[in-house]
Amino acid sequence: MLIGSDDNQSATGGNAALIKDADTASFTADVIEASKEALILVDFWASWCGPCKQLGPILEKVVKSYSGRVRLVKVDTDANQALAQQLRIQSLPTVYAFKDGRPLDGFMGALPESQLREFVDRLVGETGGVSVADVLADAEAALEGGDLQGAAEIYAAVLQQDQQNPEALAGLARCYLKSGDTDRAEQTIGLVPPNARQNAAVQSVIAALALARKAVDAKPTSELETKLAANPKDHAIRYDLAVALAANGDKSGALDHLIEIVRAERAWNDEAARKQLVEFFDAWGPKDPMTIDGRKKLAAVLFS
């Protein structure tokens, strides 16, 4: 299940996750390589360690408050003894901070939240921090890479600092949409303030939600294909088939049918086919290969 701004944000898997578990095998990727993108705190802990249980929740709370500029990696020393010995972990809990592939500083014991924030603030200041735009770019990359949980965590962290950030709200809504949770996507995009509704990312989600609603009412593609084969000039059937194909993930097929309607009779039903193409492009986003291809095909038909 994807997280919201108030849900548990721990996660495993995906380089963009704010909080994750690591082991000896993944340490290089999760810490050394990841520290080239953000400040990484590594929490060395064990299940029998009382102070570890005190520090863990505080660490997670503090990390979440930095809008993706800081990430937390948790290492169970009992399960990764060789790694703990290699890094000379002698007391638990121990926290190391990594940036640009190297350790910057660290501490042992369970610090109170105020001291922990001072520790992180100093390191963030020394490393120059990361802009919100950079954080959102990381989230976008995670989302495009299929790491819905990691992307959702970063968007939620941004929203903890700016509850009305339209790009973060749109991004989180897209995460819900991709996971099939249309209701939560609707709720999330509904939080965008009226003066930011024209934001491109917001408009893309609104278009995607409209497409999802149409998909619910779409007839089976096999039934529509049979009807179209019997009457290839029926634009209404071809239009319905295009929407149904798009709902099933066949973007190419959907594009071809709508382009065919535009080519045959552009003005049909108040240019419904062209308008639906534009809605598809908005829903899929400008970087989608089918959007790029579809725009070229539409332009070729309109200006031929």
Catalytic residue numbers read: 49, 52
Query: Structure tokens of 94?
Result: 């121990």
Work out the burial of residue 216: count CB atoms within 10 Å of its CB; fewer than 13 is exposed, 13-18 middle, 19 or more buried.
Answer: exposed
Query: Structure tokens of 254?
Result: 């959907």
CA angle 148, 163, 143 (to 5 degrees): 15
Long-range pairs for 158-165 at CB < 8 Å and ≥24 separation? 158/67, 158/68, 158/132, 159/5, 160/5, 160/64, 160/65, 160/67, 161/65, 161/67, 162/132, 163/5, 163/191, 164/191, 164/192, 164/193, 164/196, 165/132
Cα–Cα dist 226/240, whole Å: 12
Residue 197: phi and psi, rounded to 5, are -70, -20
Query: Structure tokens of 182?
Result: 């249309």
Checking DSSP bridges between strand 70-76 and strand 19-22, what pairing results, if any?
parallel
**H helices within the chain, ranges in order?**
27, 50-64, 81-86, 113-127, 132-144, 148-161, 166-178, 182-189, 200-217, 221-230, 235-247, 251-265, 268-284, 289-302
